[in-house]
Amino acid sequence: MRRGWIALPLLTACTPDDPGPPPGACDGLGTPSVTVGTGLDVFTPYEDGADLPFWHGPQGGWHVYGSVQVAGLFVPTTRDYADPDNLIVSFAITDAAGASLAGYADLPRLFTPDAHGVPTLLGERLILSIMDPADVEGATVTVTATVSDACGSTVSDGQSGVLHLSADP
């Protein structure tokens, strides 16, 4: 039996340094802001103290649809989740004691202009960590969205409301 060495090429992934936003892209954006709301097809801002609907999901869980609109932030025009300039979004739903019921942190998201040109993220399923909807029906919660851009701006908005089970999304 003959023995020998097999030489395998070493493969490495190389990526260019992130150049950041194009020159001047961060100039003149205005005052950064974010508005938290809901909606699958059309953005509806949450109003402090209003009912917050939640739904039975396709896999048996329960969720709130979270949506946001932003202004004054750099929003890339690419439709690629790997774009390092994407807006970074965090959502949190907390109960009156501050315990987390749903959300996610620091995920890149693709924003689409609405009919008025406002960058919007629609219909994020925020899955509630509950087994029975009765556990949260009528509970006062706070929905908070935080959005950061590649220019270094970070903005947050939070609204309190009362969870109510809904039959229609």
> Across the 169 residues of the chain, what is the mean pLDDT of every consecutive 10-residue run?
42 52 90 96 95 93 97 93 95 97 97 96 96 96 98 97 88
pLDDT at 169: 61
pLDDT at 78: 87
How far, in Å, CA of 22 to CA of 42, rounded?
30
pLDDT at 16: 56
Cα–chain center distance at 87:
9
pTM listed for this prediction = 0.86
Tell me the pairing of strands 50-56 and 154-165. Answer: parallel
pLDDT at 3: 47
| Structural domains for the chain | 33-165 (2.60.40.2550)
| C-alpha pair distances (Å), 139 with each of 35, 88, 91 | 22, 29, 18
How far, in Å, CA of 161 to CA of 50, rounded?
5
Residue 51 · residue 164 · CB < 8 Å: yes
Q: Is 2 helix (H, G, I), strand (E, B) or coil?
A: coil
